[in-house]
Amino acid sequence: MNKIVLTAASRVGNIRSNNEDMILAFDKYVRSDIYQTILAPDNLDRFVIAVADGMGGHNAGEVASEVVLQNLKFFFNDLPKGLSSGDLEEAMNDWLQSVHQTVNARGRANKEQANMGTTLVALLYYGQRYFWMNCGDSRLYRLRDGQLKQLTTDHSLNTEEGEKRHSNYITNCIGAGCKETYIDMIEITADVKTGDTYVLCSDGLNDMVPDEYTRQMLVDGATANDLCQEAIAAGGFDNVSVCVLRVEDQL
């Protein structure tokens, strides 16, 4: 029996005046705050951990990330029990298309929210099974046996190689006036092991902190807030949001 030690942090950074990121950490929304809890998967039917990195003028990005995470929480918790992995993936794809239309419709209805959108990366637990899903360039990493691996693929193009500033052109997201969207969704149930550490983050982390340094910090026991602080110390050009999930033996 395993437990998951979860830490979550979302920070505004040094340049921006508002935080467009938001985290859904089980039953808690986190923005410009820190949070920690312990999850016992064997005693839970489902949970979701997600990071949304909003974009848009004025405060529109923070509206988009909040709308998507609130929608995700209620949709996921309302799913019936007993869905197969294929049925769950189909349901999440249907949800994506629906929330994509919702965000775009709100953007069209309010000129201050025009073209607002958000990325989304999430770890889902449903019916004793684990899945990840991704839309955009937020990331999921896994640390195992001291080695850090990015599990998701960025839906973006790097326009300025080597730059730490926001140099990626996002090719897929939720909203932002895009006509189409999609998610990558992968089941990882058989691959979740005691001792693993999973990290979900907005690009405010990986744009500022090299993966090798993130790896070493995680090996040394870093929390989500430790990683956010490192990104801010490195310049903090963007909002930064991180979730760290450590899979440990249940005592």
CA 119, chain centre distance (Å): 8
Give me the pLDDT at residue 250, please: 80
CA distances from 182 to 53, 97, 131, 202 (A): 16, 8, 16, 18
Tell me 12's DSSP state: -
Q: Which segments in the chain show pLDDT lower than 50?
A: 163-164
Say what the pLDDT of residue 1 is.
74
CA distance 232 to 12: 9
- How many Cα neighbours within 13 Å face the side chain of 125? 18
Contact 130, 188 (CB under 8 A): yes
Closest CA to 53 of 152, 169, 158, 174: 174
Tell me the pTM.
Answer: 0.95
Q: Which two tokens stand for residue 1?
A: 């029996």
Tell me the angle at which helices 85-109 and 60-78 cross, rounded to the nearest 10 degrees: 150
Residue 234: the pLDDT is 98
